[in-house]
Amino acid sequence: MRFALITALILSACATPYQEIGINGGVTAEQVSSDTWRIMSRGNVATSKASVADYAMLKAAEITRQQGGTHFIIVSATDAANDDIGTPALLRDYRPQSAKAYKPGQDTVVRVLTVKPGAKPPTGAMSADDVLRITGARVERG
């Protein structure tokens, strides 16, 4: 029991880096339609809300470039804090209240766009290249 507690404390002391989603959090994307993607970004107790939002933006920019797009528009963004990703459903209701901690999360739906050179992007469109350059520079990668 003591070993498990020490291990849990050590793991929770490190913020979730930008990585594919797993037991310690991360980010993942799934295609919803030909040009629309749902991005799920989760952190652990040591991860800030800003980092989780950055992970979602960075994943949107990466998906946009992978799909041959230049820009993306955020269709919706929902706070998904305390979602308990990685905790088996059977255990979620049986943990003591003291074991529950704030874990930031965000679900974002984005639409990928291709804006021709010289054309003005639609209002609210974000340049994938700008996000990769600016947000990518401050994100810790796993």
State pTM to two decimals: 0.79
Domain that holds residue 79: 2-138
Contact 19, 59 (CB under 8 A): no
15 DSSP 8-state letter: P
At 30-89, the pLDDT tens digits run 999 999 999 999 999 889 999 999 999 999 999 999 999 999 999 999 999 974 545 545
Relative to beta strand 26-33, strand 105-113 is unpaired
Of 81, 38, 68, which Cα lies nearest the Cα of 56?
A: 38
At 13-47, the pLDDT tens digits run 688 899 999 888 999 999 999 999 999 999 998 89
Counting the structural domains of the chain, the total is: 1
- Which H or E element spans position 54? helix 49-66
